Amino acid sequence: MNTAVISVSSAWNYLKQNLNLDGKYQELDRNEVDACAEFIANHNLVDFSKELVWQKLYNDTRNRIIPNFWSGFEGTKNENSGYESYREAAKILSTDIQRLEHYFSLLDRLSGNAVPKSFDQYQAHLSAILLSQIPPKFESCVNFFYTKAFRAFMSLEKRNFNFDGDESGDVITHCSGCDQEIDQCECNVILDNCHSTNKALAELGILEKLSVGMIHTLILTQIQTHVQDSCVGNFASSQIEMLEKWLQNIIFRWLGIVYGEDYIQQDQVRKNFTQFLYHAYTHARIEQLFEIIIGYPESFPSVKDLQECLSRTQLKPILAQSLKTTLEARLLHQGATTEDILIAYVSAIRAFSVLDPTGVLLDVACDPIKQYLRLRGDTVRHIIHSLTDSSGELGGELELGRTGTAILDEESVAAVGDTETSTDWENWVPAPSDADPSKLWTGKKPGDIVPMLVNIYGSKSLFVKEYRKLLSDRLLLNLHFDTEEEIRNLEFLKIRFGENELHNCEVMLKDVADSKRINSHLQSVVHKPEFPILAMIISAQYWDQLKDKPMKLPIKIINQLEQYNQNYKTVKTSRSLHWVPQSGSVELELEFDNNRSVSFTVPPDLAAIISHFEDKEQWDLEELSQEMELPMSHLRRRVHVWQTHGVLQEISTDRFKVDENGPQFTGHKILLETLAKMEEEEEDDEEEDNDRKSEEDGLQVYWSYVVGMLTNLESLPVERIHQMLKMFTMQGSSGAECTLQQLKISLIQNYLDKLHFENIIPLDDGTHFCVLHFCLVMCDSELFFAVV
Q: Which tens digit of pLDDT belongs to each residue from 413-454?
A: 444 444 344 455 666 666 666 666 555 555 555 567 888 888
Instruction: Please enumerate in sequence order all residues whose Cβ is within 8 A of that of 493, keeping only pairs 6 or more positions apart, or say none.
Output: 388, 398, 467, 502, 505
From 60, 56, 53, 59, select the one nearest 37 (Cα to Cα). 53
- Residue 132 — φ and ψ, nearest 5°? -90, -5
Q: Report strand pairing: 648-652 vs 655-658.
A: antiparallel
599 membership: H or E segment, kind and range:
strand 597-602
CA distance 202 to 92: 14
Instruction: Answer yes or no: are the C-beta atoms of 90 and 197 closer than 8 Å.
Output: yes
- Residue 355 — φ and ψ, nearest 5°? -65, -40
From 6, 19, 5, select the one nearest 48 (Cα to Cα). 19
- Cα Rg for the chain, rounded, in angstroms? 46
From 468, 512, 469, select the one nearest 490 (Cα to Cα). 468
What pLDDT score does 747 carry? Answer: 56
Residue 58 Ramachandran class (φ > 0 left, ψ -120 to 50 alpha, else beta)? alpha
Lowest mean pLDDT across 520-534, 556-570, 726-740, 764-778 = 764-778
Query: CA 479, 485, 490 angle in degrees (round to 5)?
Result: 115
What pLDDT score does 28 carry? Answer: 60
Walk across the sheet containing 648-652 and list its strands: 618-620, 655-658, 648-652
String of DSSP letters for 139-164: HHHHHHHHHHHHHHHHHHHHHHHTTS
619-657 confidence digits (pLDDT tens): 999 999 999 888 888 888 888 888 888 889 999 998 999
- Report CA torsion sign: 397, 402, 403, 407: positive
User: pTM, whole model, 2 decimals?
Assistant: 0.68
Residue 268 corresponds to which amino acid? Q
Between 55 and 305, name the one with better pLDDT: 305
661-686 confidence digits (pLDDT tens): 888 777 788 777 666 666 666 665 55
Number of C-alpha atoms within 13 angstroms, CB side, residue 431? 15
CB atoms within 10 A of CB 447: 15
Q: What is the mean pLDDT of the chain?
A: 77
